[in-house]
Amino acid sequence: MVELINTTDSVTKEKKYQELLPQLKEIIEGESDLVANLANLSSALHLSMHFFWVGFYSVKNNQLVLGPFQGSVACTRIDFGKGVCGKAWETKQIQMVDDVDAFPGHIACSSLSRSEIVLPIFNSMKEVVMVLDIDSDKVADFDETDKKYLQQVIALIERAI
């Protein structure tokens, strides 16, 4: 079991994801409990990539309900189609928002959040069962590199559900 995530701060974001991914894989493959794995993934992404907030919302009774996360206290329930998370659920598409203030209906859990990426997570029937939500305290902090590697992170989860 990985006990300490090792990534280098001075390298490019791409290199850092490349260092991180095998360690995330080891975490997931060493444990069968989903909540335990989501908790550790949140921590690893938060601490190594220095994202302001990292967490998961699960679809429960037609709402997204807050799951394991790292960062400040957050909204517990989000309706279908609402906010960036609800939009990712509704459209089944990754949402990348450069400026949360410019996103109609953005749900502000923290005024420090400036940009956001949300990735839908699918079960084997291609239904959205969760989303991975990441917030940054910098405007336009997410790009195609984040999209590429975070898709690999959620593929690890999808394989385990």
* Contacting positions for ligand SME (CB under 6 A): 53, 74-75, 78, 83-86, 106-107, 109, 113, 116, 133, 135
With contact defined as beta carbons under 8 Å apart, do 119 and 154 qualify?
Answer: yes
Instruction: Give least dist CB 62 to ligand SME, A.
Output: 16
Q: What is the dihedral of CA 105, 111, 114, 115, to 10 degrees?
A: -50
By beta-carbon proximity to ligand SME, the closer residue of 96 and 109 is: 109
By beta-carbon proximity to ligand SME, the closer residue of 40 and 116 is: 116
- What proportions of the chain, in percent to the nearest 5, are helix, strand and coil? 40, 25, 40
By beta-carbon proximity to ligand SME, the closer residue of 40 and 136 is: 136
Instruction: Give least dist CB 30 to ligand SME, A.
Output: 27
With contact defined as beta carbons under 8 Å apart, do 64 and 95 qualify?
Answer: no
Residues in the chain: 161
Instruction: Give least dist CB 63 to ligand SME, A.
Output: 12
By beta-carbon proximity to ligand SME, the closer residue of 116 and 146 is: 116
CA distances from 70 to 93, 112, 134, 146, 155 (A): 23, 15, 10, 18, 20
Q: Tokens at residue 45, please?
A: 């992404």
The DSSP symbol for 8 reads: -
Instruction: Give least dist CB 116 to ligand SME, A.
Output: 6
With contact defined as beta carbons under 8 Å apart, do 128 and 161 qualify?
Answer: no
Q: Nearest to ligand SME by Cβ — which residue?
A: 83
Instruction: Give least dist CB 95 to ligand SME, A.
Output: 8
By beta-carbon proximity to ligand SME, the closer residue of 27 and 66 is: 66
